[in-house]
A and B are shown apart, each in its own frame.
Chain A
């Protein structure tokens, strides 16, 4: 029994020492799934910069998981200093519980999204089904893989991208968009719970002809899979996915880490931060950095959530809430 008490004490000691260190600052960045490499590089660059400018030792801890689940964890008490999630709706949910000021999206430039991405298609080698644009996804015999928007934040971008495409076609209206999306989800044989599950289904299991995915995740998956087994197709028009960033006011005030946390958020907008984002497959906001990486990010026409749907709360309510449009259209064959 003694041993276990020792272990317990040790465990408790670890927590205390993490919280009570004096000259050292610890930040917890709660992020979503595929940002591990991005923030590994951001963190070491920021830590070096802060050390040079202020002399403090900053340690940045990372937490990764599904965006919605991470937001829930913060609401339930995960002491995040900064959240870097997949969609603004998840940060809104944290703000609704009073942990973040309601105007968080105005406190940082560009809707508080230091980098962006778009929604693209992954197809098999040689693009055997000739997929070029959204309309090709609903041709007979084409199978589309996309996760369930009800359980995956990323999949909501996919859904909205498809809706926006249909809306922007000649004669497009809510009715035609609805018909298009309805048709699209009829072509989905497997509705995974998250983006990774969907990628795995498409790449490893060989199911489906097209995977709808974030551009950064598509590039990452292609890099991990290697070779040219899968190709990326950029549609004619797509949504500008803006993964947002926010400092968690209540936590930084309590832990007295606001200065560092805000500097960290600003660092993402710095030339160095932008360069790291581009290197990790996120489209940079900085025009200079974008120019350097132009070959990696083909130009395409994009629209934002604000332009087409108002904001995330409205989009969520209209499409993904209980009994809303996604529930109404149903899926499968």
Chain B
């Protein structure tokens, strides 16, 4: 990262302006991000730690945690492979329709969650295209784990690709070309040159993808069937408890999710702190 703006003597009006800018930014971050997060924990502990522990030790909650982890463990690696493949094709080659492909990759971001679950019902539901066939062959997709995985993949599909594309575009392909010229095989080049170059952005993309995969509600809700202990992920468990007037329970499970998110963010921050400049130089997310 470039050095802070200290290359010239800074007068007090300038310093005041800097302070003002920082203040405005922080006030916004606190009001819009920190306070909502704090609310979740305050509500979860409203009736004390004992009630909190009781709420999250119920078998349904534990089953929901396990299911959430299973779904993320399937969805995230699949999106990881897709992200690498898509980024490779997008940044290393020229072809017609590239802009269209880029838009398609981003499309799940803009599909309303209400719709992104519905589409799988239209496809695999009993009234859908493949529903009767699946039913006749005893294959369950909707209202079972595969449906949850599909909906989660759909919603989190863009994350890894979006992290990688701008970075790989910026890096260019000179090193890879050199490796090829020096006789490396395709996979050697990938594992020795490409992967080390993109590993931080990759990790970052996986972390975000994972956070979103665990937190996804809208799409998953449509394909889950809400069978308690069987097809209920953590966000769904939050909603079901909320709908049963079990506010402490709802926020307790929500706080676990927030905690997962925080752990994800902490992991990222730790990595940035340890390898600060390396990652910052390849700062992710942008175009």
Report A-chain residues with C-beta under 8 Å of the C-beta of B70.
7, 10-11
Give the contacting residue for A4; candidates B74, B145, B227, B230; CB below 8 A. B74
Proximity bits, B202-219, A CB within 8 Å = 1, else 0: 000000000000000000
Q: Check: B101 CB closer than 8 A to any chain A CB.
A: no
* Count of chain A residues near B, Cβ 8 A: 42
Partner of A63, one of B74, B126, B128, B228: B228
A64 touches B135 (CB 8 A): no
Give the distance to chain A from B84, nearest Cβ to Cβ, in Å.
14
Q: Contact at B144–A224, with CB atoms within 8 Å?
A: no
Contact call A4/B73, Cβ cutoff below 8 A = yes
B70, B135, B143, B228 — most chain A CB neighbours (10 Å): B143
Are A7 and B142 touching (Cβ within 8 A)?
Answer: no
Tell yes or no: B276 within 8 A of A by CB.
Answer: no
Closest residue of chain A to B141 (Cβ to Cβ) is A77
Chain B's nearest CB lies how many Å from the CB of A217? 8
Verify A34–B245 contact, CB threshold 8 A.
yes
CA distance A65 to B240 in the complex (A): 7
Once the chains are docked, how many angstroms separate the CA of A19 from the CA of B225? 16
Q: CA separation between A61 and B225, bound complex, in Å?
A: 11
Q: Across the interface, do B242 and A196 meet the contact criterion of CB distance under 8 Å? A: yes
Residues of B within 8 A of A11 (CB): 70, 145-146
Q: Which residues of A contact B143 (CB under 8 A)?
A: 73, 76-79
Sample of 8 more A-B contacts, CB < 8 Å, known A64-B226, A75-B127: A4-B77, A11-B70, A62-B227, A64-B244, A76-B142, A77-B125, A194-B243, A200-B247
Interface residues, chain A, with chain B CB atoms under 8 Å away: 1, 3-4, 7-8, 10-12, 14-15, 18-19, 28, 30, 33-34, 36-37, 61-66, 70, 73, 75-79, 97, 194, 196, 199-200, 204, 217, 220-221, 224-225
A-B pairs with beta carbons under 8 Å apart, 28 shown: A4-B73, A4-B77, A7-B73, A8-B74, A11-B70, A11-B146, A15-B145, A30-B225, A34-B244, A34-B245, A36-B240, A37-B244, A62-B227, A63-B227, A65-B240, A73-B225, A76-B127, A76-B143, A77-B124, A77-B127, A77-B135, A78-B225, A97-B127, A196-B243, A200-B242, A204-B247, A221-B245, A225-B245
